[in-house]
Amino acid sequence: MRWNGRLAISRCHPRPSYKTTLAILSREAYSATGKKAALFPCCPRDSRLSKNRTVRPSKQLDEPEMEARGSSRGGGAAAGKMTMRVLLLSVLLMATASRSRAQLQVGFYDTLCPAAEIIVQEEVSKAVSGNPGVAASLVRLHFHDCFVRGCDASVLVDSTPGNTAEKDAQPNTSLRGFDVIDSAKTRLEQACFGVVSCADVLAFAARDALALVGGNAYQVPAGRRDGNVSSAQETNGNLPPPSASVSQLNQIFGSKGLSQAEMVTLSGAHTIGNAHCSSFSNRLYSYGPNAGGQDPSMDPSYLAALTQQCPQQPAAGSAATVAMDPVTPTAFDTNYYANVVANRGLLTSDQALLADPTTAAQVVGYTNSPDSFQADFAAAMIKMGGIGVLTGNSGTIRTNCRVVS
């Protein structure tokens, strides 16, 4: 590509990149020698540009012409130069705004790394076939990543002597599935070194995990880049606690751009996986104003079964877990909502969805419309996967998901 008062084009781009814009502004937009410069050669999508075809703007003004026009309007040369400066500043601002709105896209790796999604799917399939519980772990891992700093794979980073990373924050100590991401990433680096981000691997893995246990398969827009920061402190206030009310859930989900309806939908992820006894033991042994009773909203037979699985005085070092859905614990279905309607929601935040009149109707509706739930859940996962993403020149591509580049 050469600059000589005109632009020789070998490939058609609908708009110049951010870096190209800066180069134009600094080198070619306004030449002190009076040479003309083509700021933005336009390439319509249906155009057929031959190699080195020259694209000229319809009309350009060199410095003498600008000064003449400025003088004719009473502004002189200074007015002409000021007009050009304003124009160039506007161009730069538009380019910057365009860059900040960079979008994820389906098929992002079709050319860059054609086997990317296949490799991830194979590794997830291998893991889930050996342990169906891995599916819930991968979905939860993606959720916890996106809700802290956005979907930037910061949850995958290991702590160092000088930094406690997200994964070691109290809400994340029970996260699993890191080894599946590591396996997929190792293969991806062998196939396409430094191309596929850890954040995209995590988004693909969550989708594939759901599909393997009965969820709808959906297309994942990709192009995320990885973050360079992971701090345990940033989990505070960003992840919903198991004791959350609907109001608290709305506040946390709303801060991520998700609606109440999407919050209820994404809560359906609790139809698979397990919960530690410690996350709901207050409902069994220390409920109410005196912290000494049992939650009266819980189905009595369910409560009795839970007290057997989670004794009030657990054995030392016990980390007992209970299936979130005791009926079909490894199937992604609507039994979660049926359980909530039957007062068998495991967590306080689960049962709260029925107790609150603004969410109860949606909970009941999903029990009778599994297809609607599956479609809504896929759409909500796609939206969640776009929270706070880094794209373009932001962030990095880690070759090891556990280590910040």
Contact 391, 102 (CB under 8 A): yes
SS3 403: coil
**Residues annotated in a binding site for heme b:** 270
* Beta strands, E only, 228-320: 274-276
Tell me whether residue 144 is one of the annotated catalytic residues.
yes
Distance CA 159, CA 175 (A): 15
**Residues annotated in a binding site for substrate:** 240
Distance CA 378, CA 383 (A): 9
**Residues annotated in a binding site for Ca(2+):** 145, 148, 150, 152, 154, 166, 271, 325, 328, 333
SS3 7: strand
Contact 29, 85 (CB under 8 A): no
Residue tagged active-site, from 13, 142, 144, 276: 144
Amino acid (1-letter code) at residue 105: Q
**Residues annotated in a binding site:** 145, 148, 150, 152, 154, 166, 240, 270-271, 325, 328, 333
Closest CA to 199 of 227, 178, 176: 227
Distance CA 294, CA 68 (A): 86
Distance CA 193, CA 57 (A): 41
**Enzyme catalytic residues:** 144
